[in-house]
Structure 1
Amino acid sequence: MSDRSDRTDHRDGAGRPGRHVFEYALLRVVPRVERGECVNAGVLVYCRHAAFVGAGTHLDASRLLALDPHVDLAGVRAALRAVEGVCAGGEAAGQAAHDDAGRRFRWLIAPRSTIVQPGPVHTGLTADPAAEVRRLLDLLVR
């Protein structure tokens, strides 16, 4: 009799791909910190089992401009692209290029006082971390 933890295909009892713990955090744009208002503009997803870290972003410029008509949209877009680059790894990740997925995720979710800020970390189960990026982006951002 084999122990289920020895399985390499990680399938559940019904033969479906197994689900694994993942963590996620929203990326919020806070144009005026003193007002505390924000617009969700992205999501970060990390799954240790899959060595996956990914980001999806979507900036609703009209909502953001309603909070602050003078917000630097180009700067916000550049910050969101930088987050995507860190998740992608390689040269786009800059100094984090050689860090593993978990380290890049932890760096991205560290509290910041900049205009683009990570929200609290939440957890879930998934068989496909990349699909979670798309699902959470549609559910929580768009």
Structure 2
Amino acid sequence: MPKVERGELINAGVLLYCQPRDYLCAKVELDPGRLRALDPQADVDGVRRALNAYELACGEECGPLAGEPLGGRFRWLTAPRSTIVQAGPVHAGLTADPGTELARLFDKLVRI
């Protein structure tokens, strides 16, 4: 969120949770050029660290969410709380292959 008070944002990742498949994964990629187009003074490294925390939080042994059930992690990760990185709205859907769906959504929503 380069300027949260103005509602500016760029898509920088996808978080996918599939309860039946016991799957939670985040895929992130920051485009520094897009970020700096909105905020030339943006702390690119700080934003990258904040985004990487989402990926790490999906792992079993990392960080403060280690040991939490995947559903709890997902709710924690999607709760609005930061002015640097904010999850967008949660959308429901069905998939038999969450890894492939994550890649498809990432290409469609982030690498546009």
Q: Deviations over 1:50-77 (max 9, x none)?
A: 1110011111110110000000100000
Identify unmatched segments of 5+ residues in structure 2. none
Per the alignment, residue 55 of structure 1 pairs with: 26
Q: CA deviation at 1:101?
A: 1.0
Task: Give the root-mean-square deviation of aligned CA atoms.
Answer: 0.9
- State the one-letter code of the partner of 1:64: L
Verify: 1:110 aligned to 2:79, yes or no.
Answer: yes
Per the alignment, residue 104 of structure 2 pairs with: 135
Report how many residues are paired.
Answer: 111
Whole-angstrom distance in 2 between the partners of 1:119 and 1:67: 18
Detail structure 1 runs of 4+ shifted over 6 Å in the superposition: none
Per the alignment, residue 45 of structure 1 pairs with: 16
Whole-angstrom distance in 1 between the partners of 2:102 and 2:43: 26
Identify unmatched segments of 5+ residues in structure 1. 1-29
What pairs with 1:24-35 in structure 2 (closer than 5 Å)? 30-35=1-6
Q: Judge conservation of contact 1:86–1:97 (CA < 8 Å) in 2.
A: yes
Of the two, which has the highest radius of gyration?
A: 1
Q: CA deviation at 1:46?
A: 0.4
Residue from 58, 68, 75 that aligns with 2:46? 75
Q: CA deviation at 1:131?
A: 1.3
- State the one-letter code of the partner of 2:94: L
Q: Judge conservation of contact 1:45–1:55 (CA < 8 Å) in 2.
A: yes
Verify: 1:126 aligned to 2:105, yes or no.
Answer: no
TM-score scaled by length of structure 1: 0.75
Q: Judge conservation of contact 1:112–1:118 (CA < 8 Å) in 2.
A: no
Q: Deviations over 1:21-78 (max 9, x none)?
A: xxxxxxxxx1111111110000100011011100111111101100000001000000
- State the one-letter code of the partner of 1:122: H
- Which of the pair is proportionally richer in strand? 1
Name the % identity.
Answer: 58
Q: CA deviation at 1:113?
A: 3.3
Whole-angstrom distance in 1 between the partners of 2:60 and 2:11: 23
